[in-house]
Amino acid sequence: YPSGNLAITVIRERDQLICIVQEDELRTAKIRALFQSDGRSTCYYPNGDEWINMSIQGGQYLDQAGNRVRRWMWPNLSPGPHVPLSPIFISLNRHVGVRILAQDKIFVSFLAMGRQAKFNMGTKVQASAARQLPPPTWLGEDELLLLAFRVRILQLFDRMRRCLNFPSSEQWNKIRPPTYLMTQAVKILELCMAADISDELRSSIRAIVNA
């Protein structure tokens, strides 16, 4: 961002790419959106509530009260009549926008100081590949909370280390957090979306990870 805060990070984990959009804040790394090359993506409102959630089957758009505004299926994974996608454009903040045109045309754009960067995080997943995906791993409420607190503690330790190594706050606040911490935060948010837990607990876990 023009402020010097990290805006977008692209991480390679094994055979997939993960694009993480963070909020323009000095001391936190609040995640505003996750885009994965395996077809799963989520965008969040500023308060951490889910905005858009996409999978290899389709997606849904929620309002800030949690009500479903729109739902669609990707045509290549729907053998019968399907609900088509009307193009979606949202602004995560004044610099980052998301445009969803098709499964393989999901664009994350960054605009600042007259310059623009654009990432296409869309993918084309065939129906046969979708049927071969392994079932998700289910975790209980206590396990999810423990994982979230573990990541939060590691984040605090990393911040303490940066503070000791760089006494000037202007220096250590600009250092990127370790990639493994960001990856773990992403995985916990994914598990929360798949788990059968209350919206209140899901919001609490997001707040712990993004604190």
Kindly report, residue by residue over 107-153, the tens digit of the pLDDT: 999 999 888 999 898 887 654 444 444 444 456 777 788 888 888 88
Give per-residue pLDDT as tens, 142-192.
Answer: 778 888 888 888 878 777 777 777 666 665 556 666 777 777 787 788 777
Give per-residue pLDDT as tens, 57-103.
Answer: 888 898 888 888 888 888 765 454 456 678 899 999 999 999 999 88
Q: Kindly list the distances between the CA atom of residue 202 and the CA atoms of 16, 43, 184, 196, in Å, as whole numbers in the listed order.
A: 25, 14, 16, 10
Burial zone of 73 (CB within 10 Å; 0-12 exposed, 13-18 middle, 19+ buried): middle
Position 4 pLDDT exceeds 50: yes
Q: Kindly list the distances between the CA atom of residue 43 and the CA atoms of 76, 116, 149, in Å, as whole numbers in the listed order.
A: 23, 20, 22
pLDDT category, 50, cuts 50, 70, 90? confident
Predicted local confidence at residue 130, as pLDDT: 44
Can you give the residue ranges of every domain in the chain?
Answer: 8-130, 141-210
Lowest mean pLDDT among 24-28, 43-47, 113-117: 24-28
Q: From CA 158, how far away is CA 121, in angstroms rounded?
A: 29
Position 52 pLDDT exceeds 70: yes
pTM score, whole prediction: 0.63
Q: From CA 206, how far away is CA 192, in angstroms rounded?
A: 9
Position 43 pLDDT exceeds 80: yes
Give the pLDDT mean for 2-31: 84
